[in-house]
Structure 1
Amino acid sequence: MDRSDFDALYEREWSGLVAAVTLVCGDPQEAADCVQEAFVRAWQRRKQLDADAGGWLRTTALRVSVSRWRRARNASTAWVRDAARPQRPHDVAEASGVLDVELWTALDRLPQRQREALVLHHVLDLSVVEVARLTGTPTGTIKARLARGRRACADALSRADGMSPAPEGGRA
């Protein structure tokens, strides 16, 4: 991959990657740092990558995000992590590219693993098998996280619209 191919890859992938990683990690600055790290690694390996290295970048950016998240989790207690979460959902939603504040709030309230599965599957359009491989999780577990995450988001969004939540079976 030459410099012009790399520049084109950067232009094509940057904003979508930052938006997706923001939805996973909850912090637009942290997401931008993770994506930047992925591009630094891509530049170092540019001779091995082809012009369509988007999948490699997605995997790398998300793994960087997960690694940072694990380090933060291990370095602090749960109450410190919760205190560091964004307090103004509208600002974070706008910075992530997800302008629907209710959707951002619904995603933000999910457990991290459900949020990660939803973003990987629905935002980055990865298959269940790809999400399972990327996260090192069995496909059945990913399917369960997706189902629970969708249900929780749907319930939160229906409450935000003033509607009552869907019945337990998931159908109205």
Structure 2
Amino acid sequence: MTEEEFDAFYASAFPRLVGQLYALTGDHGEAQDVVQEAFVRAWDRRASFLAESAPEAWIRTVAMRLAVSRWRRARRWLELVRHHPPADRTPGPGPEHTVLVEALRKLPEAQRQAVVLHHLCDLSIEQIAVETGSPAGTVKARLSRGRAALARLLSPGESADEDEREGSHV
């Protein structure tokens, strides 16, 4: 079968086969996909394809088998999910995490950035200085003040309001 003959066959048979497979699957997009896949498989064997006595029947059979195979695969997946629902792989933050984030939010931005980069991102003082464009001494001071403020915010029994009333400045 030449390329032109195959193109003509495709143009005439594709809409009809999609309609037939749509009736089988109930999904127009799925019908188009399986018919297209069947035509791709026919293209791969186009040299002997015209020797087939009923090329449209061959395409239809392949497309139906593809549709049934996809349906079975989807059904197996659905049964698997019903019996073994996917585990929640990302647990929510614990109460400690929430308290820490809330305390970090209360710090001035420069202190918060220094504390996070040093303690959570494991950057050195020098790396933080380069990343923030601040002198190393400034980074050290921000870390010191940030740690002290966090200690006050996270210590039980004391609140930031009491610290403010006592005249401490963060």
User: Shorter-chain TM-score: what band?
Assistant: 0.3 to 0.5
TM-score, normalised by the number of residues in structure 2: 0.44
Structure whose alpha-carbon radius of gyration is higher: 2
TM-score, normalised by the number of residues in structure 1: 0.43
Specify which structure has the bigger relative contact order, considering alpha-carbon pairs within 8 angstroms and separated by 6 or more residues: 1
